[in-house]
Amino acid sequence: MEILYRVRAETPADHRARFTVDVDGVRSPSLDLVVPSWVPGSYVVVNYTRGFRDFRARRGPDGTELPVERVDKARWRIRTEGASRVRAEYTVYGHQLVTEGFDLTPDHLFINAALCLPYVDGHLADPVSLEVEAPTDWKVVTELEDVPDSRHRYRARNYDELVDSPIDVGRPVLLTVNPGGIPHRISLCGTGGNYEVRRLEEDVSKVVAASIALVGDSPLKRYTLFYHLTDTPDGGLEHATSASCVVNRNCFQPGEAYRRFLALTAHEYLHLYNVKRIRPKVLGPFDYTRENYTRLLWWMEGTTDYFTYLVLRRSALYSTEQFLRQRAELVKTYLETPGRNRISLEESSLISWIDLYQRFEETPNQSVSYYLKGDLVSMCLDLEIRHRTEAHASLETVLRRLWTDYGRPGIGLEEDELLAVVNRATGLDLAPFFDRYVRGTQELDLAAFARLAGLDLAPRAKRPDERDEPESSDLGVAVEDSGGLPRVRHSFEGRTGHEGGLTPGDEIVAINGAKVTYAGFEKALEQVPPGSTAELTVFRRGYLQKISVVMGKPLPRKYAFTPMDSPSDLARAVYESWIGEPWRPERETS
């Protein structure tokens, strides 16, 4: 069957694009066109067809109209009445600049195929083509293969490849760098942006080079990094030969935001290995109509995140201090998540569809992100391997082994196969580690693992030159702004607010009779000594109530990894192989 999609950027100002799907070689009495209910890489079911309208079908490109029935939210059934060529036509409203978006504005057309191009049911494996019609001064940027002698026509081996190849049409700033001799395009779409071309090119090249060095190989002929410059928080979506990122247009000057940008870039880039090629068997070919369950997302995302920061350290884009500080920030977030041992990494992976992507008020008490815990467990696994092999093997060895055995051939990991690969690659038996921290819910003794690399992990003591800032008593809640009042978003189990009965939705009006505002909430907590009983006045479901809470001790503001005074030779060797530089005990690590 031949399937050709056409998209016309008809009225960019009102965000409507016109689509046709030509299907040639039809032999069935009906044809189902189906829009995916999720996008690979974003593990949540979403109703993408809200913006569809005027769906029609006809015989051939210009023939009589054929009957169409909408079978469900995402499926249209065309009665073919003996036609061998069928054309479907429809319009889609696209005004969502997110990583898996479909966005049409007077500036550009950005397409993730899953959001606007339905597949022909039963023909996911058939080759497809796509033709783009856009203003003449717009250029098309995509990793899809050009159809020779055509204007803006591209083809893919199958529907999965089409979905895996985002397309941006517009007037992007297009840069090309060649780390490892492989052309990498940087496509900057959108207005503004405080980037400096030279630095951006250099730093992206460093990320790419360090990633290739980590795995020891690259499968790429070419790659494109799409950066959509906007004003929202950043995010990214990985693809086999590209990545689609949405970033704040002002993130490019050196500092915290730029380090986050580099981390996003490294994370999405590493996915070309981990998840796009080294992947769970169930993730491709996909079932686009429902959840595709895997227990391995912790490795696909958390371990990718762990390697992200290792790559940034190896490329010297992060100093050792910045690397260890970032680790310590993760530790703090992790230790302040009450649900960290309520659910295993495998279960947290499995229920991503209703958990990580559907967070709600109780999530922190019953669950933990497989990015966060997956990263820290990967770090501990890495330190354990380095320690037990006297720094002859590491998690990098495991990644390379996965690449050789599963990446190149693209055969997919069975759900229970990862441990065997880890054991094979390292020569160790890591089943007890997996039983405790991957399949089980035993508390991760982070300080004990840090000592394997000669580092103490503890709440950070103040340096003498630091100001003595007043410390807030702990109430154990996360609040959000509700018309100027702090409204409880999360009430953390095991902390004082929860024990006193503070519950999500409570709007805190006063503490000990004194008015409280959202802006002044932290200051208000400084006025109440730890251990004292405070009377909180709250609106609960619109009704004024009083609650007594015993204020908790302040939580550590920060954690830090600091070098031990006299670590063993083995611990030094672990540190040096891990950090990639000689042991320097005089270092102040945070």
Strand 128-133 relative to strand 153-156, pairing: antiparallel
Min separation Cβ 166 and Zn ion, Å: 15
Task: Please state, in angstroms and rounded to a whole number, the distance separating the CA atoms of residues 40 and 451.
Answer: 39
Min separation Cβ 350 and Zn ion, Å: 17
Q: Closest-CB residue for Zn ion? A: 301
Q: Give the nearer residue to Zn ion in terms of CB position, either 268 or 382.
A: 268
Min separation Cβ 377 and Zn ion, Å: 16
CB 111 within 8 A of CB 7: yes
In whole angstroms, how far apart are CA 487 and each of 171, 468, 508? Answer: 44, 29, 6
Q: Which helix (H) or strand (E) holds 58?
A: strand 52-59
What DSSP string describes 315-367?
Answer: TTSS-HHHHHHHHHHHHHHHHT-GGGGTS-HHHHHHTTTTTGGG--TTHHHH-
Q: Give percent helix, percent strand, percent coil of the chain, each to the nearest 5.
A: 30, 30, 40
Task: Please state, in angstroms and rounded to a whole number, the distance separating the CA atoms of residues 406 and 278.
Answer: 6
Q: Give the nearer residue to Zn ion in terms of CB position, either 168 or 301.
A: 301
The helix/strand/coil state of 266 is helix
Min separation Cβ 300 and Zn ion, Å: 7
Min separation Cβ 552 and Zn ion, Å: 35
Q: Give the nearer residue to Zn ion in terms of CB position, either 90 or 307.
A: 307
Q: Which helix (H) or strand (E) holds 103?
A: strand 102-104
Q: Give the nearer residue to Zn ion in terms of CB position, either 301 or 384.
A: 301
**Residue 466 in tokens:** 């630091």
Q: Give the nearer residue to Zn ion in terms of CB position, either 52 or 307.
A: 307
Q: Give the nearer residue to Zn ion in terms of CB position, either 42 or 423.
A: 42
Q: Give the nearer residue to Zn ion in terms of CB position, either 301 or 396.
A: 301
Q: Give the nearer residue to Zn ion in terms of CB position, either 239 or 401.
A: 239
**Residue 203 in tokens:** 């730093």
Q: Which helix (H) or strand (E) holds 87?
A: strand 85-93
Which one-letter DSSP state was computed for residue 556? P
Min separation Cβ 284 and Zn ion, Å: 15
Min separation Cβ 308 and Zn ion, Å: 9
CB 342 within 8 A of CB 441: yes
Q: Which residues bind Zn ion (CB under 5 A)?
A: 301
Task: Please state, in angstroms and rounded to a whole number, the distance separating the CA atoms of residues 461 and 466.
Answer: 10
Min separation Cβ 436 and Zn ion, Å: 25
Burial call 369-390: b when 16+ CB within 10 Å, e when fewer = bbbbbbbbbbbbbbbbbbbbbe
Q: Give the nearer residue to Zn ion in terms of CB position, either 303 or 473.
A: 303
Min separation Cβ 129 and Zn ion, Å: 29
Q: Give the nearer residue to Zn ion in terms of CB position, either 100 or 301.
A: 301
Q: Give the nearer residue to Zn ion in terms of CB position, either 273 or 492.
A: 273
Phi and psi, residue 549, nearest 5°: -135, 130
Closest CA to 99 of 91, 111, 109, 108: 111
**Number of CB atoms found within 10 A of residue 293's CB:** 16
Task: Please state, in angstroms and rounded to a whole number, the distance separating the CA atoms of residues 409 and 94.
Answer: 37
Min separation Cβ 304 and Zn ion, Å: 6
Min separation Cβ 568 and Zn ion, Å: 36
**Number of CB atoms found within 10 A of residue 428's CB:** 15
Closest CA to 59 of 80, 34, 29, 89: 80
Which residue type occupies 300?
Answer: M
Which residue type occupies 178?
Answer: N
